[in-house]
Structure 1
Amino acid sequence: MSTHTENADQHAVQHADQRADQHGTPIRSLTVLPALREDVELHTADGLTLVGELALPVGPDGAPATPTATLVTLHPLPTHGGYMDSHVFRKAAWRLPALAGLAVLRFNTRGTSSPRGTSGGAFDGGAAERFDVHAAIEFAEFHDLPNRWLVGWSFGTELALMHGRDPSIEGAILLSPPLHRATDADLDAWAAFGKPLVVLVPEHDDYLQPDQARARFARVPQAEVIGVDGAKHLWVGETAVRRVLDEVVAHVLPGSSPLPTRWDGPSSTATSGLAPAGEEDA
């Protein structure tokens, strides 16, 4: 085949993709795509009940579909506004079951409140939260949710690094890791664990910027540190959210990104009343 013909074919494919992306309704900040969403409870080994939500993909007939993979999410610092509805995770649950067939498990760590309710216990700075992480992983195992990945954001990255080294997970994705609580010993333990570690670091992060992150995570040979130009710690704005969700899907389901930006099917628009993006902290 000539180079001219190859180029023509490539342009035809690109134009077809562009035409396909013009169909449907744009996916906006408050767009909620179809999924089976159910309130769940997690039970910790130290006797607490944690509240959460599981979002599952559905088939064309509206019946539950087998997930392609599972995200077990760990939210930002609850003493600074972080909870299961922190905006990146909320949008992951609204979009990824439909766009990528993913199951998304969100929950409030101990002592944390959200519109879903309040989890038992009290915030413990990341120590007793080990029981919360284990309870979430066990829930995913018990419910046969496949291909399980931890996705931590800020404080949630500390929980993943300190307490997430479970043989049943495929790896972890860290969003804006501050590395305040997780130590070099935790990084060394993850290196020995051997599972993938994907680290998304905003260019303008308040706590750990890309060059610093590459130096700190160099002790984990399997860590992939991705600096995100223009982004900040809280991933505010639709461009930042889409970059995060694209990176998550690209690593959990290689070949499945970038995600569509339009949806040709039923959808709804969420009402306000949740904490606006930007209230969550490390």
Structure 2
Amino acid sequence: MEIRASTVLPAKREDIELDTGDGLTLVGELALPENDPVATLICLHPLPTHGGMMDSHVLRKASYRLPALADLAVLRFNTRGTTSERGTSQGAFDHGNGERLDIAAALEYAEFHDLPHPWLLGWSFGTELALKWGRDPLVEGAILLSPPLKRATDEDLDAWATFGRPLTALVPEFDDYLRPAEAAERFARVPQAEVIGVDGAKHLWVGEPYVRIVLTEIVRRVNPMALPLPAEV
């Protein structure tokens, strides 16, 4: 069977709730491989005021495919005030400030449930959250899709440099906010950062070829032994 945009591969999936330090309940889903996971992706979605949510397509496809193809656990959730088919998380959008408690709740859940080697997978607004609030000792590294570097400042990049964990930015050639050449300049202040420009891609990564590139680069950092990812199962 060819893996297509709508393909859902086998995994152990369960609805979860995250409890934040300020008393909110966030809704989410955990997708686990049939075997013990090798590592964990904690997904941070795009801007909820522009339609971003845990079901934003790249994150959803990661949860549909990577447990089966790469033995990864994939944890997705709606940040405060965000709605998806799973439901609505309590609270209200806080422009990336109160959301630091949402990331902390996801990491606490991962630690309590013995989810191994957590990596942050941020997309657009989610990259800002990762850079600003993801510098937790539990975090193994971060993968950034279409980072705008608007809310996240040079001071946040300097802090990540000191944090020392791996950082990979996948930057579309035709991104609306930050393109590869400028991204390389901005991320140069993080010695361990790798910037990968993706020819032909746009901010929303529309198109199955670009989704495959993204998922491959994620697995290359988190579980390279699973490469190459098959196109058929």
- Please give the alpha-carbon distance, in whole angstroms, between the structure 2 residues aligned to 1:206 and 1:219: 22
Write the distance in 1 (CA, Å) between the matches of 2:85 and 2:225. 35
- Partner of 2:199 in structure 1? 229
The alignment covers a number of residue pairs equal to: 233
Q: Deviations over 1:250-279 (max 9, x none)?
A: 01112322210001xxxxxxxxxxxxxxxx
- The aligned residue for residue 173 of structure 1 is 143
| Partner-residue secondary structure (3-state), 2:191 | coil
Structure 1 ranges of 4+ moved more than 6 A: none
Is the Cα contact below 8 Å between 2:69 and 2:226 reproduced in 1?
no
- Are residues 1:126 and 2:126 paired? no
- Pairing partner for 2:226 from 232, 256, 267: 256
Whether 1:113 aligns to 2:83 is yes
1:162 aligns with 2:138: no
CA shift at 1:113, angstroms?
0.4
Offset from partner CA, 1:132-174 (integer Å, 9 cap, x none): 0110111111100001100000000000000000001110000
Q: Does 1:43 align with 2:13?
A: no
Offset from partner CA, 1:60-84 (integer Å, 9 cap, x none): xxxxx21011000000000000000
**Counterpart residue number, 1:9:** none
Partner of 1:268: none
2:209 to 226, 231, 239: 239
> Secondary structure of 1:66's partner?
coil
CA deviation after TM superposition for structure 1 residue 246, in Å: 0.2
1:46 is paired with a residue whose SS is: coil
- Find the counterpart in structure 2 of residue 215 from structure 1: 185
CA distance in 2, matches of 1:223, 1:201: 13
CA deviations 1:83-113 (Å, max 9, x no partner) are 0000000000000000011000000000000
TM-score (norm 1): 0.82
Who is 1:73 aligned against? 43
Larger Rg: 1
Q: Are the aligned partners of 2:80 and 2:89 in contact in 1 as well (CA < 8 Å)?
A: yes
Structure 1 unmatched ranges of 5 or more: 1-24, 59-64, 264-282
The answer to whether 1:86 aligns with 2:56 is yes
Partner SS, residue 51 of structure 1: strand
Distance 2:159 2:104 in 1: 17
TM-score, structure 2 length as denominator?
A: 0.99
Q: Name the structure 2 match of 1:28.
A: 4
- 1:26 aligned partner, one-letter code: E
Separation in 2, partners of 1:86, 1:236: 11
In the alignment, which residue of structure 2 is the partner of 1:98?
A: 68
What is the CA–CA distance in structure 1 between the aligned matches of 2:158 and 2:145, rounded to whole Å?
A: 19
Q: Aligned Cα RMSD in Å? A: 0.6
Identical pairs, percent: 73
SS at 2:224 equivalent: coil
Q: What SS does structure 1 have at the residue aligned with 2:226?
A: coil
